[in-house]
Structure 1
Amino acid sequence: MASPMLVTEWFWVPVPRPNAEIRLFCFPHAGGDAPAFADLGRALPPDIEVWAVRMPGRGGRFTAPHAADVDELVHWVSAAMRPFVSGRYALLGQSLGALVAYNVARELSSLNPPTACVLAALLPPHLWHGPPGPTGPQDVVGFLRSIDETVTEVLAHPDLRALILSVVHADLNLCQNYLHQWEPPLSCPVLGLVGADDPTVNGDQMTGWARSTTGPFSMRVLSGGHLVVQAAGALLAQTVADFLHTRAGAA
């Protein structure tokens, strides 16, 4: 298996596959980073290559400034992706990453529409009552513990706790002034994914993302909680692969 590689400062490819037919750009949840998609990159079939987006302000890009809002982040990512979307590509976003992926897909559609878009674990914006996610430090800590049991040990370390809370707050603040517009919609197929135990959104609510596209929309509820991309494991990889293969074949 080939070693992971960086492509510019923006993308981490956990399993390089130069002969892959589809590039799958993956956008992490609030506070998340590109390695969250390492297992998915290994589990997908050889014709799909994961390009995980390295968000600024964390990991190897710790010194990079955070975006001021969703629009600025979408502009940055879209500009970084443009040289790499001349062929077939798709986008997958989880939680906050779903909002960014959706808007990046719209931004790039005039250049080369994506083959498909996968949106996971985010309440559709028309159902928001204010920006999504917790606000105060204790709310954030409680939320993080509710969606990821492994974070409790990390939060016990004061320095790591401060770093994590800083990144999560910066990500959640992106949505403070976000004004959603459904127009123009995507034209590609969209798959909505949600964990059966997600405390933030359920399957019925996720179907609201059908408004995001004039193309076909489908929904899957998988085992797991909010971080369904990691929790559902092999089933998630198979679901995404089947969706992309069906839509790529149709295209």
Structure 2
Amino acid sequence: MSRPYPVSGDDGAPAKPAQAPGGAAELKKWFPFWKPKPGARLRLFCFPFAGGSASALHRWAEPLGPFVEVLAVQYPGRETRFREPPLKRSSTLVEALGPAMLPLLDRPFAFFGYSLGTAISLALAHWLRRSGAPAPRGMMMAAGLPPKLCRPQGAHTLSDEELIAEIRRLGATPPQVLAHRELMELLLPVVRADFEMMDTLTHSEEAPLCVPMAIWGGREDSQPSPQALETWRDYSTQDCSIQLIPGGHFFLHSAPDALREDVERTLLRWVAP
């Protein structure tokens, strides 16, 4: 029986990538800033935080070494996909994204998720395993609360003014954007949908993954706290490293170089012969 994902040939050479459902247009939709690197040894799929976009993670990850090919995921409803309604359930997102990714698994790959993106990447790794697809070389979880500790916060039910106050508190959005009425009219539905996605996350009873994990958290972050990060060890049977970076929840913005250097060292370890 043929498989829906690329596999190596008998001589060990990578097979030709399978065709994506929808072809090149589908890949461009999910990975609009992807710049193929034929000589790269590993693909890094990046999953944004709530309200985040592919461009933000692409800009941060692109300076990684030449051995890394960056593919930042664009969720529906933002930037290049602003005409699409944002999704409110992680299961819906994974069922749409998973098949689109299969043609890109013809070389070693890893996942990097930030905040909400950690839950998305974990669910996607489980989806790949159920599909019989290749597993990532490793999973990178930054500023993410382990799903079994997630509790509904109800932020998606707030009024517009209250939701803007919550976005301001989190500190990821520049003040000039928060003060721009037209921009906020575009941003609020996306943030509201992402917060609903977070509130409806369910703890999966699936067996732990057989892949290494690297976890990062902010020293001053309370959601997740440094102690809560230890629970990520329950999700893998392999090595799970945990490191703290100065800053709060968005140390991606306050200490981008420190995080990027740690990520690069980790990826080099995972692709070593």
- Would the TM-score normalized by the shorter structure come out above 0.5? yes
Larger radius of gyration: 2
2: CA distance between counterparts of 1:134 and 1:24?
Answer: 30
Verify: 1:186 aligned to 2:200, yes or no: no
**Per-residue Cα deviation, 1:5-52 (whole angstroms, up to 9, x for no partner):** x94210034654221111000010111100111333332111011100
Which one of the candidate residues 41, 44, 49 is aligned to 1:24?
44
**Per-residue Cα deviation, 1:198-250 (whole angstroms, up to 9, x for no partner):** 24222111111111111111111112322233332221111011111112226
**Correspondence for 1:84:** 104
**Per-residue Cα deviation, 1:72-131 (whole angstroms, up to 9, x for no partner):** 111111111111012100001111111101111121133101000101112212222325
What residue identity is the alignment partner of 1:227? F
Which TM-score applies when normalising by structure 1? 0.89
1: CA distance between counterparts of 2:243 and 2:250?
Answer: 14
2: CA distance between counterparts of 1:48 and 1:101?
Answer: 18
What residue identity is the alignment partner of 1:122? G
Structure 1 stretches lacking a partner, 5+ long: 1-5
Verify: 1:42 aligned to 2:62, yes or no: yes
| Residue aligned with 1:175, SS | helix
Report the CA distance between 1:135 and its aligned residue: 4.2
Which one of the candidate residues 230, 234, 238 is aligned to 2:253?
230
> Could you tell me whether the CA contact under 8 Å between 1:132 and 1:175 is conserved in 2?
no
Of 127-136 and 45-54, more deviation after overlay is shown by 127-136
Verify: 1:115 aligned to 2:137, yes or no: yes
**Correspondence for 1:64:** 84
Of 21-30 and 224-233, more deviation after overlay is shown by 224-233
| Residue aligned with 2:62, SS | helix
Length, aligned pairs only: 245
> RMSD in angstroms over aligned alpha carbons?
2.1
Verify: 1:140 aligned to 2:156, yes or no: no
> Could you tell me whether the CA contact under 8 Å between 1:33 and 1:59 is conserved in 2?
yes
Which one of the candidate residues 203, 212, 217 is aligned to 2:235?
212
Verify: 1:168 aligned to 2:191, yes or no: yes
| Residue aligned with 1:18, SS | coil
What residue identity is the alignment partner of 2:190? V
1: CA distance between counterparts of 2:209 and 2:172?
Answer: 35
Report the CA distance between 1:141 and its aligned residue: 1.9
1: CA distance between counterparts of 2:172 and 2:53?
Answer: 17
**Correspondence for 1:3:** none
**Correspondence for 1:239:** 262
Structure 2 stretches lacking a partner, 5+ long: 1-25
Identity of aligned residues (%): 32
Verify: 1:128 aligned to 2:150, yes or no: yes
- Higher strand residue share: 1
2: CA distance between counterparts of 1:113 and 1:133?
Answer: 34
1: CA distance between counterparts of 2:188 and 2:27?
Answer: 28
CA gap of 1:182–1:216, structure 2 versus 1, over 3 A, is farther
Of 158-167 and 10-19, more deviation after overlay is shown by 10-19
2: CA distance between counterparts of 1:219 and 1:25?
Answer: 20
**Correspondence for 1:197:** 220
2: CA distance between counterparts of 1:202 and 1:24?
Answer: 26
1: CA distance between counterparts of 2:230 and 2:65?
Answer: 27
Question: 1:2-17, aligned counterparts within 5 Å?
Answer: 7-13=27-33, 16-17=36-37
> Could you tell me whether the CA contact under 8 Å between 1:91 and 1:114 is conserved in 2?
yes
Query: Which consecutive segments of 4 or more residues in structure 1 shift more than 3 A?
Result: 12-16, 131-135
2: CA distance between counterparts of 1:58 and 1:209?
Answer: 29
What residue identity is the alignment partner of 2:238? G
2: CA distance between counterparts of 1:179 and 1:102?
Answer: 12
